[in-house]
Structure 1
Amino acid sequence: MSIDVNTQFFNDRSARVTEARATRRDDGSYEATVGYDRGEVIGRDGLDTSLGTAALYSSVPAWHGLGKVIPGGISDIDTVLDLAGIDFQVQRVPAFYLWNGELRQHQGKFHTVRDDTGAALGVVGGVYEPIQNRSGFEFLQELVNDYGVVWESAGALRDGRKIFVCIRLPRNIAVDAAGINDEIVPFIAVINSHDGRSPLSAVVTPWRPVCGNTERFAVRDAYSRWTVRHTKGAGDRIKEARRALKLSIAYYEQWAVEETALARTDCAIDEFDRLVGELWPPDDDASPRTRRAEERRRDLLADMFTIESQNIGRTAYAAERTVTDYLDHVAPRRPGKTMTEEIARATAVMEGVDDQIKSKAHGRLMALRTA
């Protein structure tokens, strides 16, 4: 049985504000005030509400209480698409413009349009072929069937311009099981785009439930991201992604071995300071303002490393956790005109903006084992 909590959230809004979990904005919307969702605003560049309710399915309630929740999750893709409000089709239609009272067609340009609401989602060229939501996600159904897992979440963002689904891999991974025993919950997320700006993407994402941290896979040479362009050959590329994603468990096991090695490798404060200097080299020609910002970042990272070391020991693993936490949750992100900083931060994680820095940190810290 599903639980539709869209109305429940708004009925309970006073309690949420009283408990300081949300605050009412001047425009009548509500904004999260706690956790890593802090700053996210309901109905603004987040969940699609064009059909009257939030386009979201989840196996557990989200912070905002919106969407349809199926406790324990479900395993059927068609039910997921329906509950999440993403079972619509996308059409490519000619683009027109008005010139001196005359309607003209823009040759070689098209709009992507939802077939249920008629909303224009993006402007694309002649080679663009929409990847429909079901065909873009159905390859995960094989993993769901093979491993006996469930669809964790699915939904639409920005009027349907972005669509996402997520499944959990069958077993958790432990880093240094005999020591700190840090448990990693592995997920696969797939994001489809209908705005013409980005491809369909599949991302392997470890999640640490202890601190809520979400990070990208950082093992050198491991495949953690697959992209599929919206062209006629998309179907074959999606099949390749399916085969690759089935190897994800092997990648996680390799990752756990390397992370365990880091957890058993000492890392002194001066070694961490050198790492920060390599990841963010100082600019000799920087302005005084930029230099002050660099100093604040270095001091902040040093403080974060001290706290992390108190929790799990002064190790290379603590150093990597510090760098990852800073990039995912602390580093400044410039929001767009209609995007909150928290949404910009989550987008950066999913799109792998800082993957190169994370991989560089991982490689430098792995080198400490033989130093």
Structure 2
Amino acid sequence: MTITDVNAAFAAEKAEQIEAAREPERAFQARIDRGEVRMIGADQYEVLTGWDQGETFTVSRNAEGRIQQILGNHGLDGRADGTIALYASSPAWHGLGQIIPGGTTDIDEVLRLSGLDFEVTTVPAKYEWQGRMREHTDQQHTVRADTGVALGAVGSRYTPIQNRAGFEFLQELVSRYDVVWESAGSLRGGKRVFISIRLPESVTVDAEGINDVVVPYIAVINDHSGNGQFQCVVTPWRPACANTERFAVRDAVTRWAIRHTAGATSQIKEARRTLGLSSHYFEQFAAEETALARTEIAIADFHHAIADLWPLDEDSSKRKQTNQAARLDALNEVFATEAARVGQTAYAAERAITGYLDHLTPRRPPQSMTEEIARATASLEGADDEMKSKAHRRMLQLRTR
């Protein structure tokens, strides 16, 4: 019979826990010692080497002084070793993150590299009243299970959809388990995460003419803060200018979303039906874009479309008039570039408008984000989808005059 010394076992287990807690500290200190990271303030650090060179991040520590969270000042989250919580198959997101050329199919590796290897749990919502703690039975809080950092306040029926479930959802959605992950990352301390895959077949616009190639992606965006749903979007992407061509095409739907409830991600059949993935959406997309590519327009037509998209009242303030003039100048410049490439067509006009929205429209990023990352996030999350759809419909009207 084997006799276990409970005290000795407890001491050994506790020592392992302490050692594990110290490991991130050692990894982080090792980067400082190697000259890869330097302190620039009380809790501010700068990366000196690699893809992340020049980026800064903030380190928060718990009461014992151990690293609790690393948040990059570009808006992407950081890991304990000072690198950025982002995986990409190519130097996307302005060269940040852990790059694996050609990508990987390994979910565990992407979870680790992207900083998504954490689960989300819920805890009771409590408050103090007259010296005593009470519980709000209709609410709870979402927290990271690895650090205990609060992510948001949610209702009592809220059930977290874990990060791994997002990867598995995409695998089941396309009925393939060897998909190469394009990108994955975490924003705002883990409150919002994203995962994307590239579909194997590209889409060609006007194959007999301009032969413009559009790459189809599918992305999952998951919100752990209670302020958003678990959503999946189809995102056509033009590599030549990095424009996101996501807009409504006839009756095709490009977005599917579901609330955080028990069994949410089991509704794969509904997601497939609603998104209509590659066949219906991209066939209609290519047909309509080809029609635009064969529709020549005058510069006046382009200006009328801009006036419809960004209307300006006669009694508008001088500031609004100045902004409108600056916008028109910027759009004219982009249109000229596109027209030189694909002709002075409705297609070039639409490309100019989507390019302006993705790259030039003024953005006011949150304090924790750079303007570049704010733009990338807006494109991913579809901040301008409605405006792009309106522009698409406006260009189609020119085709049918």
C-alpha RMSD of the superposition:
3.2
The answer for the alignment partner of 1:44 in structure 2 is 73
Q: Which of the residues 296, 302, 313 maps onto 2:332?
A: 302
Q: Calculate the TM-score normalised by the size of structure 2.
A: 0.77
Tell me if 1:109 matches 2:126.
no
Structure-to-structure mapping, 1:182-201, within 5 angstroms: 182-201=212-231
The question of whether the paired residues in 2 share the 8 Å contact of 1:148 and 1:170 is answered with no
Which residue type is aligned with residue 48 of structure 1? D
The question of whether the paired residues in 1 share the 8 Å contact of 2:186 and 2:194 is answered with yes
Q: Compute the displacement of 1:190 (Å).
A: 0.4
Which residue type is aligned with residue 303 of structure 1? E
Structure-to-structure mapping, 1:1-371, within 5 angstroms: 28-29=45-46, 43-44=72-73, 46-52=75-81, 53-62=83-92, 66-99=96-129, 101-142=131-172, 146=176, 149-232=179-262, 234-245=264-275, 247-371=277-401
The question of whether the paired residues in 2 share the 8 Å contact of 1:45 and 1:158 is answered with no
Q: Compute the displacement of 1:259 (Å).
A: 0.7
Q: Calculate the TM-score normalised by the size of structure 1.
A: 0.83
Q: Deviations over 1:234-277 (max 9, x none)?
A: 23545422444462343112211111111111010011111111
Deviates more, 1:359-368 or 1:196-205: 359-368
* Long gaps (5+) in structure 2: 1-29, 58-71
* Long gaps (5+) in structure 1: 1-5, 15-23, 32-36
Give the number of aligned pairs.
351
Q: Deviations over 1:158-204 (max 9, x none)?
A: 22111111100011111122222211111111011111111111111
Structure 1 Cα separation of the partners of residues 78 and 132 of structure 2: 34
SS at match of 2:232: strand
Which residue type is aligned with residue 209 of structure 1? P
Which residue type is aligned with residue 133 of structure 1? N
Give the number of the structure whose alpha-carbon radius of gyration is greater: 2
Q: Compute the displacement of 1:116 (Å).
A: 1.3
Structure 1 Cα separation of the partners of residues 174 and 31 of structure 2: 31
Which residue type is aligned with residue 317 of structure 1? Y
Which residue type is aligned with residue 307 of structure 1? T
Structure 2 Cα separation of the partners of residues 347 and 126 of structure 1: 29
Structure 1 Cα separation of the partners of residues 377 and 96 of structure 2: 20
Q: Compute the displacement of 1:320 (Å).
A: 0.3
Cα pair distance change 1:129/1:59, threshold 3 Å: same
SS at match of 2:207: coil
SS at match of 1:46: coil
Q: Compute the displacement of 1:48 (Å).
A: 2.0
Which residue type is aligned with residue 123 of structure 1? A
The answer for the alignment partner of 1:19 in structure 2 is none
Q: Compute the displacement of 1:121 (Å).
A: 0.9
Q: Deviations over 1:129-155 (max 9, x none)?
A: 111122233121135654964111222
Deviates more, 1:97-106 or 1:151-160: 97-106
Cα pair distance change 1:212/1:129, threshold 3 Å: same
